[in-house]
Structure 1
């Protein structure tokens, strides 16, 4: 069986991204290694969710990363979709922590979504199944 183990997201600042994804969004650190004093290798995942998909916080500079990262943000396209049980409750919790949203909770067919700014160059979509969907 093949499964997704890790997905990467380009970020402007790995340390700042790590703090946002753990301290604000509530993820836990899975790996935090700085090989030979070089670029940190940092992954996060859902708290208590060992064995689930990890998110690799990748430095967003370079000839491939920079244009891709910038184009997604300028087009208003989230770089990743995170599932939540209650988008409206998460929206209120995160707004209370100072998180900026591109848009608040909206019904979109079978899902309810909201899009936030992760402070490191990305839009992140929160999604839940709409009641009755």
Structure 2
């Protein structure tokens, strides 16, 4: 059986991303290993879930800028996170100053919202119904 263990989002600033993904979104640090210079192997995960990690990957590679710019221009999220209650998360995150490019929107079997992670990415929150 194959499982997802690690996925990544490119971030402009790992320290800023660490603050946003932990303090604001509520993830916990799984690994923080210096790689030389300012770069780190920096992963976070949901509390109580050690199976899947998100790598907050430095965005220095030359392909990253054009790729992320095209995604943002088209409003395409770089990642999707699950939520038990997207509307409640939206309200909580707005109180913390998070900007949303799409408020909670019902789309049949799912409610989604899209936020700006302050590190160069759009992130979609999704709540499956039923």
Q: TM-score w.r.t. structure 2 length?
A: 0.95
How far does the alpha carbon of each residue in 1:60-111 deviate from its partner, in whole angstroms, 9 at most, with x for none? 1222211112211111100000000000000000001000000111001210
Which residue of structure 1 aligns with residue 12 of structure 2? Answer: 12
Which residue of structure 1 aligns with residue 28 of structure 2? Answer: 28
Which residue of structure 1 aligns with residue 106 of structure 2? Answer: 107
Cα distance, 1:53 vs structure 2: 1.3
Unaligned runs of 5+ in 2: none
RMSD: 1.1
Q: TM-score w.r.t. structure 1 length?
A: 0.93
CA separation of 1:63 and 1:36: change in aligned 2, threshold 3 A? closer
Contact 1:60/1:69 (CA < 8 Å) preserved in 2?
no
Deviating 4+ runs (over 4 angstroms):
none
Q: Which moved more, 1:40-49 or 1:66-75?
A: 66-75
Unaligned runs of 5+ in 1: none
Which residue of structure 2 aligns with residue 49 of structure 1? Answer: 49
